[in-house]
Amino acid sequence: MTIKVLGSGCTNCKTLERRTLEALDELRVRADVEKVQDVKEIASFGLMHTPGLVIDGKVVSQGGVPSVEILKEIIAREFAAAQS
């Protein structure tokens, strides 16, 4: 699983990265997590608002910072979809 945290490096972007790592740890799911700050790459995902979260090429969140619990739900759903 590859997860990208999209954003300029603002406080919300850093919070999203931290919460994502926490959710992965709690779920015991392994993933490559990458911070993406390049505007062109962010735009390539069609993101209208940052921060954004992309799992295996699919935008799963944008314009806000979900709670760890919500992130766990998103990650578990995407992980299950990748396994089927």
- The set of catalytic residues is 10, 13
User: What is the DSSP secondary-structure string of 21-83?
Assistant: HHHHHHHT---EEEEE--HHHHHHTT-SSSSEEEETTEEEEESS---HHHHHHHHHHHHHHHH
